[in-house]
Amino acid sequence: MILAAGRGERMRPLTDVVPKPLLSVAGRPLISYLIEGLATAGIRDIVINYAHLGEQLVAALGDGERFGVRIIYSAEGPTGLETGGGIFRALDLIHTDPFLVVNGDIWTDFPFGRLPDAPPGLAHLVLVDNPSHHPGGDFALEDGRVLDKALPRLTFSGIGVYRRALFAHCTAGKFPLAPLLRAAMQDAKVSGEHYRGKWFDIGTPERLSALELTLR
For residue range 32-63, what is the model confidence (pLDDT) as tens digits? 999 999 999 999 999 999 998 889 999 999 99
CA 97-193-145 angle, 5° bins: 80
Q: What is the pLDDT of residue 182?
A: 97
* Domain interval for residue 166: 2-215
For residue 152, cis peptide bond before it (omega within 30 degrees of 0) = yes
Task: Indicate whether 162 pLDDT > 90.
Answer: yes
For residue 205, cis peptide bond before it (omega within 30 degrees of 0) = no
CA 189-190-194 angle, 5° bins: 155
Taking a C-beta distance cutoff of 8 angstroms, is the pair 202, 105 a contact? yes
Q: Which residues fall within 8 angstroms of residue 85, CB to CB, at 6 or more apart?
A: 76, 172, 173, 174, 175
Longest alpha-carbon distance in the chain: 46
Q: What is the pLDDT of residue 149?
A: 87
Q: Which residues fall within 8 angstroms of residue 112, CB to CB, at 6 or more apart?
A: 37, 38, 40, 41, 43, 100, 102, 159
Q: What is the pLDDT of residue 19?
A: 87
What does R_g of the chain's alpha carbons equal in angstroms?
16
Environment class of 56 (CB within 10 Å of its CB; exposed 0-12, middle 13-18, buried 19+): middle
pTM comes to 0.94
Q: What is the pLDDT of residue 203?
A: 81
Instruction: Report how many domains make up the chain.
Output: 1
Residue 8 confidence class, pLDDT cut points 50, 70, 90: low
Can you give the CATH number for the domain in which 80 is found?
Answer: 3.90.550.10
